[in-house]
């Protein structure tokens, strides 16, 4: 990472991936049942039916696929599924399963009704994936014994179990795998009011006093993501404790997040550097990604993968075949006036296209 942004994008406060600090506290902040799980009304309601029906039948719930961006609650929901079914949960991930044999070992040691949580399921190896197809459908695996022409497949019966797969990239799942899930829940970004509820709940658990306006201030900067909301809450709590009487008001939240360089819309220094270069140096574009990256002293990949997705989602930046463009909302957000352009070219023409 270049020197322009010390610490690099990996440790950014508004990043949606879990950092070490998050992992330590997340267990304590995770809702334990569906009733405590905030938002995601559709997924929650549908899942509630799936689980209730399975309980009534006294059977095992259908396999569940959870897809959605990092930090929206996939791992949390998988634990809730196990808790609601009164079943134990085994946690593993696609990248941890190198060989089909690794998967066979896990599957054959499952207890009846156990929940197997397979995180990052899109990153599993092909042979393991194929073994999983049969395990999901027929609760059976073929264990291959020996090598070469003398190898034999020994069928092994599995107890019924519930597979909960999680993925940030549902599009990367092969259709045969996707089709074997009885229920797919797509997690959406959270509305500010939902994030306020997440923040109030976490504040209670962390024993922090927070005013409604303080929670609203943090929610508005959390990029629709509970993990970020919880992280910002912890940083604001530190500030309130050191600089004030510990109570989180709107003013305290605003000043704290200004110290941490998170603006009113949840943009950090990198995001604003990209926008500001786009608008101030290139008149709002279109400008090529490489040029933009050089202008902010970052790698292309950093600009494209770290900064741009949220800017695009917020409608501040658009990717066009001719290059990156700052939208009218971007000019407004940075408090700048777009240059006047004549007809027959320039940016206005592009917006009409
Ligand atoms: N609906 C929710 N209500 C309350 N808290 C939530 C909710 N969803 C997530 N959280 C909080 O956000 C944190 C991150 O959630 P979780 O680890 O489940 O996300 P994830 O989707 O598994 O992310 P990743 O893709 O990085 O694995 C959890 O510690 C939890 O406290
Ligand atoms: Mg997770």
What does the alpha-carbon distance between residue 200 and residue 146 come to, in Å, rounded to a whole number? 58
Whole-number pLDDT of residue 8: 45
Among 75, 162, 249, 327, the one annotated catalytic: 75
Among 12, 221, 223, 227, the one annotated catalytic: 227
Rounded mean pLDDT, 258-262: 96
Report which of 89, 86, 91, 83 is spatially closest to residue 34, judged by C-alpha positions.
83
Whole-number pLDDT of residue 285: 87
Whether residue 286 is preceded by a cis peptide bond, meaning omega within 30 degrees of 0, is: yes
Second CATH level (architecture) for the domain 192-259: Orthogonal Bundle (1.10)
Which contiguous run of DSSP H or E holds residue 154? Answer: strand 152-157
What is the residue extent of each domain of the chain? 40-186, 192-259, 269-340
Residue 17, both tokens: 């991936």
Among 74, 223, 231, 269, the one annotated catalytic: 74
Report which of 238, 195, 240, 241 is spatially closest to residue 218, judged by C-alpha positions.
195
What does the alpha-carbon distance between residue 271 and residue 285 come to, in Å, rounded to a whole number? 16
Strands, E assignment, 173-272: 183-186
Indicate yes or no: pTM above 0.85. Answer: yes
| 13 Cα: distance to centroid of ligand 2 (angstroms) | 18
Ligand nearest to the CA of 69: 1
At residue 23 the predicted structure's pLDDT band, cuts being 50, 70 and 90, is: confident
Other beta carbons within 10 angstroms of residue 9's beta carbon come to 18
CB 102 within 8 A of CB 128: yes
What does the alpha-carbon distance between residue 272 and residue 262 come to, in Å, rounded to a whole number? 10
162 in active site: no
Topology given in CATH for the domain delimited by 269-340: Arc Repressor Mutant, subunit A (1.10.10)
At residue 153 the predicted structure's pLDDT band, cuts being 50, 70 and 90, is: confident
| 73 Cα: distance to centroid of ligand 1 (angstroms) | 3
Is the pLDDT assigned to residue 41 strictly greater than 60?
yes
| 207 Cα: distance to centroid of ligand 2 (angstroms) | 25
The structure tokens 């209670």 sit at 204
Rounded mean pLDDT, 159-186: 94
Is residue 57 marked as binding?
no
Ligand nearest to the CA of 198: 1
Report which of 336, 305, 333 is spatially closest to residue 319, judged by C-alpha positions.
305
Higher pLDDT residue, 146 or 336? 336
* CB of 31 closer than 6 angstroms to any ligand 1 atom: yes
What does the alpha-carbon distance between residue 122 and residue 165 come to, in Å, rounded to a whole number? 9
Residues 84-139 pLDDT 10s? 999 999 999 999 998 889 999 999 999 999 999 999 999 999 999 999 999 999 99
* CATH hierarchy code of domain 40-186: 3.40.50.300
Between 36-50, 141-155, 250-264, the lowest mean confidence (pLDDT) is in 141-155
């Amino acid at each position: 990472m270049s020197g322009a942004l010390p610490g690099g994008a990996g440790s950014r406060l508004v990043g949606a991936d879990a950092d070490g600090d998050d992992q330590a506290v997340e267990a304590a902040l995770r809702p334990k049942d569906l009733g405590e799980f905030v938002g995601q009304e559709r997924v929650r309601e549908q899942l509630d039916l799936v689980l209730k029906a399975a309980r009534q039948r006294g059977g095992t719930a259908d396999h569940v696929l959870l897809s959605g961006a990092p930090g929206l609650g996939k791992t949390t929901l998988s634990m809730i599924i196990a808790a609601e079914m009164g079943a134990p949960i085994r946690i593993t991930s696609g990248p941890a399963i190198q060989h089909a044999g690794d998967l066979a070992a896990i599957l054959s040691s499952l207890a009846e009704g156990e929940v197997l949580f397979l995180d990052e399921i899109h990153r599993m190896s092909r042979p393991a994936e194929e073994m999983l197809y049969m395990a999901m459908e027929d609760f059976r695996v073929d264990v291959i014994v020996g090598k070469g022409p003398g190898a034999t497949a020994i069928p092994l019966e599995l107890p019924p179990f519930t597979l909960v797969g999680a993925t940030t990239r549902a599009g990367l799942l092969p259709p045969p795998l996707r089709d074997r899930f009885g229920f797919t829940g797509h997690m959406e970004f959270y509305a500010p009011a939902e994030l306020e509820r997440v923040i109030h709940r976490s504040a209670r658990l962390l024993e922090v006093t927070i005013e409604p306006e303080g929670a609203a201030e943090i929610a508005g900067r959390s990029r629709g993501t509970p993990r970020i909301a919880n992280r910002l809450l912890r940083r604001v709590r530190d500030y309130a404790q050191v600089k004030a009487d510990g109570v989180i008001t709107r003013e305290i939240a605003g000043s704290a997040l200004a110290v941490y360089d998170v603006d009113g819309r949840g943009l950090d220094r990198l995001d604003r550097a990209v926008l500001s270069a786009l608008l101030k140096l290139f008149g709002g574009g279109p400008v090529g990604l490489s040029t933009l990256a050089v202008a902010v002293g970052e790698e292309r990949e950093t600009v494209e993968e770290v900064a741009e997705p949220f800017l695009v989602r917020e409608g501040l930046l658009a990717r066009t075949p001719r290059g990156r463009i700052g939208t009218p909302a971007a000019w407004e957000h940075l408090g700048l006036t777009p240059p006047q352009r004549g007809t027959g070219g320039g940016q206005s023409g592009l917006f009409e296209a």
